[in-house]
């Protein structure tokens, strides 16, 4: 008798009594914790220390502004980190574990959190057990219980009292079955030990690690420089405490302490944009690595094709036996099984649901991509009968046919495969040792059509333009895969195809030597995917590998980017980096493009921030060496920090994609740094030339007017204005300003620059701030000079961009 399961009323009552089937998840940091954590920065401590020194010397205005700048930096960091955390939490909640449950006699898919005690759940290979319970039906079920026991060896489960216990969070490695839920949520074994199996631990991405290391080195360099400034100032008989405070404030202003947070928010916003395009990036690490991808190893079925299968032809020697095989060797879990079920349903006098229930299964070997067949032994008219369904050449090898008959079948397989169809062989056995893979009677072939996915051909062309190589890896017949590949625009010759058999026979070194010319891998076994990934990585390729099954997990984990189908197993999703919610190859290309954009924007932000950082150091140091008064006061340095280190440098990271972004060759994130040599040269050249140019301007005005406040005000306005004007040159580090596409595409940048100018004008034309900052209003002549310097500075950047990029070509 078929299982009925719970009805709707029973479910509602049980849910009200037992609640949700979920485990407690570690709560994110509270708003206040995030805010106060901003004050843990060593740079904030140093800034407040300088504030205390200012209070000691009764410099109350300086002390107040130092506290204000420290608070503003903390507030800015808070908003960035808070929004970043919200985005990450939202992304983690997108993928929700599902369960196939039997209710009211029907199989339906629900969220695992909605399970209640008494529910009947259908489980199979690759599934994660959704709650504690007992196996009531199942054959050859193997479960990995390492999450509870620490032992990797799979445990056999049977519907008996001694071996039927199943536990939440454990993984089905082999077999199918039906379990009855006994305990849910915190009442489960894993719930009692307080573990959260759904929590994803975020680690720092390589770019964040590199930035941390870079910041530490920069911190050391800047403090050395500022120490030299301090010592030089003392030797030039500057006031001890004044030059001490100036050196420390200059150091804190020069260090881009907000850069790591800015990078994090750029990464998380990138993840959000990929999600809109139906790709879920599970870790910050992945969005960065995606942009470096140089090879995509893609499974044909469901990624390049629609995955919506339909039987288009069959050729059976005995229709009745064949339809029994298509029905009984079928768990209705995969698209292929559903297509076969629907095909039988359309046949007259055949009801697959009735047939399945009337002929109980007494033994099963589920389909496995390693062995490429499935076997079921069922009671047919009180007699045990075995049916096999799978790759035709494998099934054919189990059958007793003459050499001529086998040759005829193989010829037919080639003809069908050349049409791009997936082909299954069908066989049965009524006598002898049914589990033994020989002596089977051949029943015939089934041809299944799986149309190409719309947009797949264009996406492949885009990938190739971007310098990304495509390797098609499939378990299908080579001629089937070859036809699909040609339809997608690939030029395939004999040297471009490697079968699973050949792959198994050649060494890793031979594969490495040949892999560049191979486009299509056919009849590949899951464990061979690992061999392919290893060979590609040995060639220095940044490899993305697609997969969806439990056996794909090792290759997905080994790959630089593991890409998992949204319909894939829980095991695959756990090790995957990118989940395709629409199973579409185009989504991989979209994610790679987003990864490239993110890195490009990070490089722009770092280059701009560093250019700003060294201008003031060169300016102050030059003035001390020339025995001149300081061109900027402490409070002016701090105010410039509010202008330049606030929204503008962060918003630069929101630049839209450049037109030729996907025509560039992939970068190697393992070898290439954040900044190229050209970028480093640009930063040094720009900061040096602008610093010296501004110093010349200061000395000219000071010696001509003998008005220190006016000269300092002009320098203050110049440094701030120059940084707000030349930021537009950093929108593209390779193209000249007048060739930048979509110049006004980043509207937020315009608002950020406007914010900066508001602060500059406020500092110059509000009497109260004149008194605090030691500034004086400037006239039109002064502004003409300042704008001229800003234009000259921008031209300097453009000239250096031209020569550095010309040399790098």
- Those residues whose C-beta lies under 8 Å from the C-beta of residue 708, and which sit 6 or more positions away, are 629, 702
What are 143's strand-pairing partners? 155, 172
Q: 234 is written with which tokens?
A: 């003392």
Average pLDDT, the chain: 83
- H/E element holding 110? strand 106-111
Q: How confident is the model at residue 12 (pLDDT cuts 50, 70, 90)?
A: very high
Q: 460 is written with which tokens?
A: 């492949």
pLDDT greater than 80 at residue 310: yes
Q: What is the pLDDT of residues 94-133, one digit of tens each?
A: 667 888 999 988 888 898 899 999 999 999 887 889 999 9
pLDDT greater than 90 at residue 311: yes
Mean pLDDT of 136-150: 79
pLDDT at 198: 41
Mean pLDDT of 395-408: 93
**Nearest residue to 85 (alpha-carbon basis) of 153, 150, 33:** 33
Highest mean pLDDT, choosing among 259-273, 295-309, 411-425: 411-425
Mean pLDDT of 359-374: 87
| Greater pLDDT, 308 or 464 | 464
3 state SS of 44: helix
| Greater pLDDT, 244 or 488 | 488
Q: Which of 299, 450, 476, 560 is catalytic?
A: 299
| 292-296, 684-688, 717-721: least confident range | 684-688
Q: How confident is the model at residue 398 (pLDDT cuts 50, 70, 90)?
A: very high
pLDDT at 78: 73
Q: 217 is written with which tokens?
A: 């080195």
Determine the Cα–Cα distance for residues 519 and 502; give it in Å rounded to an integer: 14
pLDDT at 196: 40
> What pTM, to 2 d.p., does this model score?
0.77
- H/E element holding 214? helix 206-235
Phi, psi of 171 (to 5 degrees): -125, 135
| Greater pLDDT, 308 or 218 | 308
Q: What is the pLDDT of residues 428-449, one digit of tens each?
A: 999 989 999 999 999 999 999 9
Mean pLDDT of 570-580: 79
Q: 730 is written with which tokens?
A: 């950093």
Highest mean pLDDT, choosing among 88-102, 345-359, 461-475: 461-475
Q: What is the pLDDT of residues 162-215, one digit of tens each?
A: 778 899 888 888 888 899 999 998 888 888 765 443 444 445 555 656 666 666
| Greater pLDDT, 218 or 338 | 338
| Greater pLDDT, 54 or 439 | 439
- Where do the DSSP E strands lie in 452-597? 469-473, 497-499, 520-522, 543-547, 561-565, 578-580
- Those residues whose C-beta lies under 8 Å from the C-beta of residue 531, and which sit 6 or more positions away, are 503, 508, 511
pLDDT at 639: 85
469-473/520-522 β-pairing: parallel
pLDDT at 761: 95
Q: How confident is the model at residue 699 (pLDDT cuts 50, 70, 90)?
A: very high
Place of tokens 């300016």: 619
Place of tokens 């299954």: 424
Helices (H), 128-205: 146-149, 189-192
pLDDT greater than 90 at residue 717: yes
pLDDT at 470: 94
532 burial class (0-12, 13-18, 19+ CB within 10 angstroms)?
buried
* Residue 545 · residue 555 · CB < 8 Å: yes
pLDDT at 334: 80
Q: What is the pLDDT of residues 245-285, one digit of tens each?
A: 677 766 666 666 556 666 777 777 788 888 888 888 877 66
What are 243's strand-pairing partners? none
Mean pLDDT of 499-505: 91
Mean pLDDT of 606-629: 82
Neighbours of 322 (CB within 10 A): 23
Q: Where does residue 106 fall: left (phi above 0), alpha (psi -120 to 50 degrees), or beta otherwise? A: beta
| Greater pLDDT, 33 or 361 | 361
pLDDT at 444: 95
pLDDT at 87: 64
pLDDT at 460: 92
Determine the Cα–Cα distance for residues 301 and 554; give it in Å rounded to an integer: 20
Q: How far is CA 11 from CA 97, 99, 703, in A?
A: 19, 15, 87
Q: Is 299 a catalytic residue?
A: yes
pLDDT at 183: 92
| 14-28, 696-710, 714-728: least confident range | 14-28
pLDDT greater than 80 at residue 80: no
pLDDT greater than 60 at residue 223: yes
| Greater pLDDT, 379 or 660 | 379
Determine the Cα–Cα distance for residues 77 and 36; give it in Å rounded to an integer: 10
């Amino acid at each position: 008798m078929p299982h009925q399961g719970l009805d709707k009323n029973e479910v509602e009552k049980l849910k009200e009594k037992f609640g949700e089937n979920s485990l407690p998840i570690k709560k994110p940091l509270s708003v206040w914790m995030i805010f106060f954590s901003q004050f843990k920065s060593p740079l904030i401590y140093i800034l407040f220390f300088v504030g205390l020194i200012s209070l000691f010397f009764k410099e109350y205005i300086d002390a107040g502004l130092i506290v204000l700048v420290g608070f503003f930096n903390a507030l800015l960091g808070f908003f960035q980190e808070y929004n970043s955390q919200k985005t990450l939490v939202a992304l983690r909640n997108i993928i929700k574990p599902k369960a196939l449950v039997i209710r009211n006699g029907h199989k339906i898919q629900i969220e695992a959190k909605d399970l209640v005690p008494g529910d009947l759940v259908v489980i199979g290979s690759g599934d994660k057990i959704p709650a504690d319970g007992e196996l009531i039906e199942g054959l050859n079920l193997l479960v990995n219980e390492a999450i509870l026991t620490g032992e990797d060896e799979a445990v056999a489960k049977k519907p008996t009292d001694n071996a039927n216990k199943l536990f939440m969070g454990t993984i089905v490695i082999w077999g199918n079955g039906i379990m009855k839920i006994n305990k849910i949520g915190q009442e489960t074994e894993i719930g009692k030990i307080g573990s959260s199996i759904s929590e994803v631990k975020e680690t720092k991405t390589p770019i964040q690690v590199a930035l941390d290391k870079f910041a530490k080195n920069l911190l050391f360099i800047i403090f050395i420089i500022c120490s030299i400034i301090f010592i030089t100032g003392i030797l030039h008989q500057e006031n001890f405490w004044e030059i001490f405070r100036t050196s420390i404030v200059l150091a804190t202003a020069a260090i881009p302490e907000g850069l790591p947070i800015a990078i994090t928010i750029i990464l998380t916003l990138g993840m959000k944009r990929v999600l809109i395009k139906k790709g879920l990036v599970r870790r910050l690490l992945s969005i960065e690595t995606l942009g470096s991808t140089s090879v995509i190893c893609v499974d044909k079925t469901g990624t390049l094709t629609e995955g919506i299968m339909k039987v288009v032809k069959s050729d059976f020697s005995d229709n009745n036996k064949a339809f029994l095989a298509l029905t009984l060797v079928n768990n209705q879990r995969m698209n292929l099984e559903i297509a076969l079920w629907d095909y039988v349903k359309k046949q007259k006098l055949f009801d697959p649901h009735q047939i399945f229930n009337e002929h109980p299964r007494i033994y099963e070997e589920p389909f496995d991509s390693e062995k490429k067949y499935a076997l079921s032994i069922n009671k047919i008219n009180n007699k045990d009968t075995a049916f096999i369904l799978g790759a035709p050449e494998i099934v054919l090898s189990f059958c007793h046919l003459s050499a001529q008959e086998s040759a005829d079948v193989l010829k037919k397989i080639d003809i069908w495969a050349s049409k791009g169809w997936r082909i299954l062989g069908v066989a049965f056995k009524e006598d002898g040792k049914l589990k033994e893979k020989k002596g089977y009677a051949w029943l015939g072939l089934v041809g299944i059509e799986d149309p190409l996915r719309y947009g797949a051909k264009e996406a492949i062309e885009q990938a190739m333009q971007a310098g990304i190589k495509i390797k098609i890896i499939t378990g299908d017949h080579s001629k089937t895969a070859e036809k699909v590949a040609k339809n997608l625009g690939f030029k395939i010759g004999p040297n471009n195809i490697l079968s699973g058999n050949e792959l198994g026979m050649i060494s890793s070194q031979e594969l490495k030597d040949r892999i560049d010319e191979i486009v299509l891998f056919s009849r590949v076994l899951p464990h061979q995917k690992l061999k392919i990934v290893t060979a590609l990585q040995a060639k220095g390729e940044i490899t993305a590998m697609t997969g969806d099954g439990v056996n794909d997990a090792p290759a997905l984990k080994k790959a630089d980017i593991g890409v998992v189908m949204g319909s894939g197993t829980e095991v695959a999703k756990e090790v995957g980096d990118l989940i395709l919610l629409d199973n579409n190859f185009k989504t991989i290309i979209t994610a790679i493009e987003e990864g490239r954009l993110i890195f490009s924007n990070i490089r722009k932000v770092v280059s701009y921030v560093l250019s700003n950082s060294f201008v003031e150091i060169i300016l102050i140091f030059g003035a001390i060496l020339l025995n001149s008064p300081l061109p900027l006061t402490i409070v002016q340095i701090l105010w410039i920090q509010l202008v330049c280190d606030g929204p503008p440098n962060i918003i630069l990271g929101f630049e839209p994609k450049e037109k030729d972004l996907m025509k560039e060759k992939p970068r190697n994130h393992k070898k290439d740094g954040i900044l190229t040599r050209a970028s480093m040269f640009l930063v040094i050249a720009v900061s040096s030339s602008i610093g010296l140019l501004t110093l010349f301007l200061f000395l000219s005005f000071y010696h001509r007017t003998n008005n220190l406040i006016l000269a300092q005000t002009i320098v203050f306005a110049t440094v701030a204005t120059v940084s707000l004007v030349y930021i537009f040159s950093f929108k593209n580090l390779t193209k000249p300003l007048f060739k930048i596409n979509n110049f006004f595409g980043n509207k937020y940048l315009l608002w950020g620059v406007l914010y900066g100018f508001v602060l500059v004008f406020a500092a110059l034309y509000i009497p109260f701030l004149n008194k605090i900052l030691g500034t004086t209003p400037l006239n039109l002549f002064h502004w003409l000079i300042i704008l001229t310097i800003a234009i000259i500075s921008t031209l300097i950047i453009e000239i250096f961009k031209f020569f550095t990029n010309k040399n790098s070509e």
